[in-house]
Structure 1
Amino acid sequence: MVDFKKHVNRKINRDFTNLVSFFDSLDRQTSHIELRTVQQDALRILSERRLERDLILKISTGTGKTAVGLLYLWSFMEEKHLPAVYLCPTKQLREQVHAEAEKLGLKSVIYPANQPHPDVEGIRGKAIIICTYDKLFNAKTTFDRSDVMLRPYAIVLDDAHAGVEEIRDCFTLCMSGTNVHRQLVKIFDVPCAKYKSAVWNDIRSEDPNQMMEIPYWIWKPLLPEIGQIIGSQAKDNKLKFVIPHIRDILRRCRCVVSGAAVEIIPDILPVYKSPAYDKAKHRLFMSATLADDSVLVRELGCDISAAEKPITPANDRGMGERMILAPSLVDGKLDRKWVMSLCGRLSKKLNVVVLSPSEPKAREWESVGAKICSGDEVKEAVEGLKDTSGTSSFVVFKQRYDGIDLPDKSCRVLVIDGMPIGEGILDRLDSSTSGFAGGTRNRLIYRIEQGMGRAVRSHADYAVILLAGNELAHFIAKHDVLSAMNPDTRAQLELAIDLSKMATEDGGADPKTAVIDMIKKCLNRDDGWKQFYNETVRKSSIAASGTTDPNRLMLANAERCAFELAISNNLLGTVKLLQDAIDKYVSDDPATKGWYLQRVANYLYDVDPGQALEAQGAAHRDNKSMYCPPGGIIKRPSKVEESDAQAIVSKWYRQFQNPNGAIAAINELKAKLSFELSHSVVEQALCDLAPLLGAQGSRPEKKGGPDDLWLWPSLSLVIEVKSENQKSLHKKDAGQLSSSMNWFKENFHARKNPVPIIVSKTTLCDRDAYFPANTRIITSAKINELLEKVEQFYRKMIAEPLIYSTAKSILKSQQDFLLLPEQFCGNFTEKPQKLK
């Protein structure tokens, strides 16, 4: 029987504006009776700034940030009776957050993959919804199903540094070893081979280590074809979770091609396509390791005011003690194999954990007694490591740089086994590019930092971190790598470099003995080591600022705002905004300036291609990692006299306010005249090419005529495009060209001796294919030769203004480059050949 009297006046009055007292009102487990001082600090500041939409909380590992995030969400959920979502980068962390909520006395529900509807209690705002980033951000998210339409009032983004990478994956179209990859490579083949022949030849040869980003002046004219290819994959089991995010903003995407894969990703993430995130009233970004908050501004649209004033609790004592050692920096002979042997011996007395980048690398550790754990074995292995009642363990996890917590004795020695792999080709390209500025990220650095954070889970904890292998050791010694780490990690890595010097300088011990002695001093809690660590690391990390350089923040915000203007087709506003930001906030570092100038040039290309190439030239001069422009100089010649074919050349050239626009247009034609594109694209490109040669171009096909028609005063070309034919020309092709010739004779009585033209990959004809008399063929090779001469002609016109001053001088230059109509057929066409 229900006694309704028991349910009268049960509502508890809670002060939602005081999260500390809110915690006190919860029915908690005994393990969570008291808040730590650092948690109290964080909750007080969150209470004071509770009305702000975006907040960034930077708090050390092991200080209880999960509880802080859960309390933040629960207060809004209780107050507004609306859903709240806690985002995690991995399934393991999702489970941990769920367990933490239970200990706090907070109801939570997990919203896993493949579950279409969230728990009813979560929808009603009675339980916190916990899920991974990809659950919310994929393009087919169930958050947006018509029968769900889940719109959280508040969101916590835990481990935001890793979350950014997870979200980028949701917007990245990756195609490797597929027909789509091959189709895209074919589309890019002609212009990319012209742009960077050596690199492109390696890509043609399927070299997986060679990569190239497609320049925007090649990318833009090919977008219709690219869009069709991508659209054809909309039902692919993997790609369908990304394609809806990017198919309508391909112009604003970057594309990188390697011999093994193609990746396409927006330069700025269009997070507005994830309304559950974009429309949330409150968002809390939490991280223990994020050093550069501008990444949240640029990538996720975090309010810049939140990044200018991150929450950094005063009583946060930082991370625990980590002795990071790179043995190969002490002596080159202390390589990975030596580290493996050493760990085999250490594992007899204490737990040793190895984070390996791949299955083959992980298997090599079996030779020294390690156990490889993957999949469902990971959870059991972690529990075994935490069970201190048993014997020591020696465990290797492959590609597990986050989602595993190994405090205290569960891991006293942690090995980062060489450089993490598994990055996409865009990440690899960006990692090797100089000048990357505010808001860009480096997944490699994040993975190393996350990996080192698996051990030492509190201020009082300690462990030895061994960096195995020469490549990793030298990578962490780079200044730009250290500057990208958070202050604690940076101080510890700087100490690692100092320790490598001290190992050989103090006492003259041999390198092996020196390294082992250092390890023992940490593990045996040597007083001298602890005092030295406190003096060199703790003080320096406490003194380090918790805020990002204001100029980096302003530039990141400018890029985000510029992207949003471009999406709204306000390209002039985009260019002005970015240029103003460069003038105000970019330092004297030319590499950084070049990086931003390339972004300006990319946007400007849609408005003024000539001026865009001028800006691209400036970007390349400042930073050689940026695209080298196709060329052209900016001096404007005087007006030409009007005279027939030369007048058409003059009229075409004069349409560009900046002469570089002519070079840009020629490069677009090069891209579109690839025979790997559809015949309709090639037909239009041929029509567009005609005026550059002084001819009138048209496409009379819809009126019963040829695909293309080029008319000079003294020459007529009747053109049929068969660029998709592979081995030979057929009887049907000959019939079409004959019909087009008949159409021409009926419609152009006064023009004598038209030349029938076939545009084809081959000059071979079937035996039964009888083409009209004097038929000529333009092959792809001849097209390329023609385009080279056209570009040389216009480059000379730009460089020598007097050429442009009279029709006679234009004619003379055309003759020099074999571009007069009477020179055309002899130089750029071939005779058809019958198959034998």
Structure 2
Amino acid sequence: MWLAQGDALREWHENRAKPDVGIVLNTGAGKTLVGLLMAQSLVNEQREKVLYACSSIQLVEQTTEKARGYGLDVTTYFRHEFSNDLFTRGEAPCITTYQALFNGKSKFLNEHLAAVIFDDAHAAEHLLRDHFSLRIARKEFSDVYAAVHALFKRYHDKTGKAGSYAELEDPRCHHLFLIPPFELHSQLGEMTRILHEARLQQEKSTMFAWEHVRDHVDTCCIMISGDDITITPPFVPVRSLPYFNTGIRRVYLSATLSAPDAFARTFGCIPEEVIAPTTTAGECERLIVIPSRANLERDDIEMAKELIDRRKALVLVPTYSRATRWEDVVQPPPRKDVSRYVREFRDAPAADSVKLLLAARYDGVDLPGDTCRVMVIDDLPMGVGPLERYLWERLRLSAILRTAIASRVVQSFGRISRGMSDHGVVIL
């Protein structure tokens, strides 16, 4: 083990009884091994159930592969299946996804847990909000959309926004309207009737979030856009979940633990202890290229495409819609095959000039050394939901999201920079 890993484990062991502990280790400093050893140590201590949460199935598979390489037994849970019974017998931790942990019908809500390890804790904020946000898509629930839209038409007529609100009749409209709480309360009876008659609990796209918000619509934000209606709490009520009960220990692993205010918005608390051993791992040599600063009258994406034309390169974009701007160079892999595509890209020789495009995946892809020397980050690496978009675009409260965006940028650099002897080029 490296010295920083040992320092992190020793200091954590002295504070292991505390309910909330943060562990900060640079990308490439081996925090996965540290987290896995902590998880197994907690299992050994209590002979009870311990969860290790990752942000995607691809990361679950990658972490499981590492655990086996270290000689550690683990259970995995994703797509409604356990890989073995070691977790239920209290002999090994279970590696699962944030999605499996926080959806409204999670099987872990009724499990007696001893501890939860949150990997890549800096990436959890938008994942948690997604699970507490009920999205009613216009295409799928056209009658519900029309009824809710009509319900608040009179209010927008009275406030002088009749014209822009009427434009929502076009699904391509990008306007976003926040329904004020006082107006929601005045129409709450009718709103509740519309939602309950929609049978949201029976549709796969809505059943999990509906479980969280069905009794709390009156305390949620209602956002209406051209293609959907979103019902989301102003602050994600994670403290209402059993994972945050007294008696359960929580460890938050991160390369860039976000500012205290952002952390509190995500997990409803601030860690009592933050352990951040000094390490030079991850302090690599990077050349950062920003084509838009070149003062040339050319599109910076086209310039980036030229730069990576004859090179093996990773391209990161925030959404699948943004990925369409790269379709003449590379297509994103199917969602269920991301792990296979990452492995094939990693194993391909640099001389092949292959490309890999990933949408909204800024964590957990490890491409050290010659497996990848060039990376493109196209657009802000931020999973922004309707509420964040409203704060950013309409209220100009960009400072709220800056710390989150900054940490995602720094974190994304680590995809191709994995150690002190590593180096690479990042094109922004």
Give TM-score scaled by structure 2 length.
Answer: 0.89
Change (3 A) 1:167 1:396: same
Quick check: 1:271–1:278 contact (8 Å CA) kept in 2? no
* Aligned AA (2:135): C
Distance in 1 (CA, whole Å) between partners of 2:320 and 2:343 is 22
* Aligned AA (2:225): S
**1:49 match:** 15
Change (3 A) 1:253 1:408: same
Gaps of 5+ in 1: 1-34, 468-836
Change (3 A) 1:162 1:390: closer
* Aligned AA (1:434): R
Matches within 5 A, 1:365-514: 365=326, 367=328, 370=330, 373-375=333-335, 377-387=337-347, 391-402=351-362, 403-419=364-380, 423-432=384-393, 433-435=395-397, 448-467=409-428
State the aligned residue count.
Answer: 419
Change (3 A) 1:378 1:139: closer
**1:324 match:** 288
Asked whether 1:180 is paired with 2:144, we answer yes
Distance in 2 (CA, whole Å) between partners of 1:78 and 1:429 is 47
Distance in 2 (CA, whole Å) between partners of 1:441 and 1:130 is 30
Q: CA deviation at 1:377?
A: 4.9
**2:57 match:** 91
Matches within 5 A, 1:748-759: none
**2:251 match:** 284
Q: CA deviation at 1:279?
A: 5.2
Distance in 1 (CA, whole Å) between partners of 2:403 and 2:205 is 25
Q: CA deviation at 1:271?
A: 1.8
**1:199 match:** 164
Distance in 2 (CA, whole Å) between partners of 1:373 and 1:315 is 35
Distance in 2 (CA, whole Å) between partners of 1:359 and 1:138 is 23
Change (3 A) 1:427 1:449: farther
Q: CA deviation at 1:301?
A: 1.8
Q: CA deviation at 1:435?
A: 4.1
**1:337 match:** 302
* Aligned AA (1:399): A
Change (3 A) 1:280 1:157: farther
1:546-573 Cα distance to aligned partner (Å, 9 max, x none): xxxxxxxxxxxxxxxxxxxxxxxxxxxx
**1:244 match:** 211
Quick check: 1:254–1:265 contact (8 Å CA) kept in 2? yes
Quick check: 1:321–1:462 contact (8 Å CA) kept in 2? yes
Distance in 1 (CA, whole Å) between partners of 2:407 and 2:164 is 29
Quick check: 1:322–1:463 contact (8 Å CA) kept in 2? yes
Distance in 2 (CA, whole Å) between partners of 1:60 and 1:104 is 20
Distance in 1 (CA, whole Å) between partners of 2:233 and 2:32 is 31
Change (3 A) 1:421 1:40: closer
2:316 to 355, 360, 364: 355
* Aligned AA (1:407): P
Distance in 1 (CA, whole Å) between partners of 2:47 and 2:134 is 37
**1:133 match:** 98
**2:128 match:** 167
**2:36 match:** 70
Asked whether 1:107 is paired with 2:79, we answer no
Quick check: 1:427–1:442 contact (8 Å CA) kept in 2? no
**2:279 match:** 315
1:781-822 Cα distance to aligned partner (Å, 9 max, x none): xxxxxxxxxxxxxxxxxxxxxxxxxxxxxxxxxxxxxxxxxx
Change (3 A) 1:118 1:380: closer
Change (3 A) 1:241 1:104: same
Change (3 A) 1:445 1:356: same
Change (3 A) 1:264 1:409: same
Quick check: 2:285–2:423 contact (8 Å CA) kept in 1? yes
Quick check: 1:365–1:396 contact (8 Å CA) kept in 2? no
Change (3 A) 1:321 1:283: same
Identity of aligned residues (%): 30
Q: CA deviation at 1:363?
A: 5.5
Q: CA deviation at 1:252?
A: 2.0
Quick check: 1:431–1:442 contact (8 Å CA) kept in 2? no
Q: CA deviation at 1:292?
A: 1.3
1:310-369 Cα distance to aligned partner (Å, 9 max, x none): 211123555423222111112143422122122214x2xxx222224555754654645x
Higher share of residues assigned strand: 2
**1:7 match:** none
- Secondary structure in structure 2 of the residue aligned to 1:74: helix
Distance in 2 (CA, whole Å) between partners of 1:427 and 1:435 is 9
**1:486 match:** none
Q: CA deviation at 1:388?
A: 6.1
Distance in 1 (CA, whole Å) between partners of 2:227 and 2:234 is 22
Distance in 2 (CA, whole Å) between partners of 1:363 and 1:271 is 35
Distance in 1 (CA, whole Å) between partners of 2:186 and 2:376 is 49
Q: CA deviation at 1:423?
A: 3.8
Q: CA deviation at 1:53?
A: 0.5
Quick check: 1:387–1:410 contact (8 Å CA) kept in 2? yes
Quick check: 2:382–2:408 contact (8 Å CA) kept in 1? no
**1:301 match:** 268
**1:271 match:** 238
Distance in 1 (CA, whole Å) between partners of 2:206 and 2:246 is 25
- Secondary structure in structure 1 of the residue aligned to 2:377: strand
Q: CA deviation at 1:75?
A: 1.3
Distance in 2 (CA, whole Å) between partners of 1:431 and 1:447 is 17
Quick check: 1:358–1:421 contact (8 Å CA) kept in 2? no
* Aligned AA (1:385): F
1:613-647 Cα distance to aligned partner (Å, 9 max, x none): xxxxxxxxxxxxxxxxxxxxxxxxxxxxxxxxxxx
Change (3 A) 1:324 1:196: farther
1:706-753 Cα distance to aligned partner (Å, 9 max, x none): xxxxxxxxxxxxxxxxxxxxxxxxxxxxxxxxxxxxxxxxxxxxxxxx
Higher relative contact order (CA 8 A, sep 6+): 2
Distance in 2 (CA, whole Å) between partners of 1:371 and 1:434 is 34
More deviation, 43-52/278-287 = 278-287
More deviation, 383-392/183-192 = 383-392
1:417-460 Cα distance to aligned partner (Å, 9 max, x none): 3355874322321222334677x687766654544432212333
1:152 to 95, 103, 113: 113
Q: CA deviation at 1:204?
A: 4.1
1:213-272 Cα distance to aligned partner (Å, 9 max, x none): 111111222222222222332222221101121122222211211122111111121224
Higher share of residues assigned helix: 1
Which protein shows a greater Rg?
1
Distance in 2 (CA, whole Å) between partners of 1:61 and 1:394 is 24
1:494-543 Cα distance to aligned partner (Å, 9 max, x none): xxxxxxxxxxxxxxxxxxxxxxxxxxxxxxxxxxxxxxxxxxxxxxxxxx
Q: CA deviation at 1:168?
A: 1.2
Distance in 2 (CA, whole Å) between partners of 1:76 and 1:114 is 25
Asked whether 1:217 is paired with 2:179, we answer no
Give TM-score scaled by structure 1 length.
Answer: 0.47
Change (3 A) 1:278 1:193: farther
Distance in 2 (CA, whole Å) between partners of 1:222 and 1:212 is 16
Change (3 A) 1:451 1:175: farther
- Secondary structure in structure 1 of the residue aligned to 2:202: coil
Q: CA deviation at 1:381?
A: 3.4
Change (3 A) 1:428 1:459: farther
* Aligned AA (1:229): I
Distance in 2 (CA, whole Å) between partners of 1:48 and 1:316 is 24
Change (3 A) 1:277 1:110: farther
- Secondary structure in structure 2 of the residue aligned to 1:161: helix
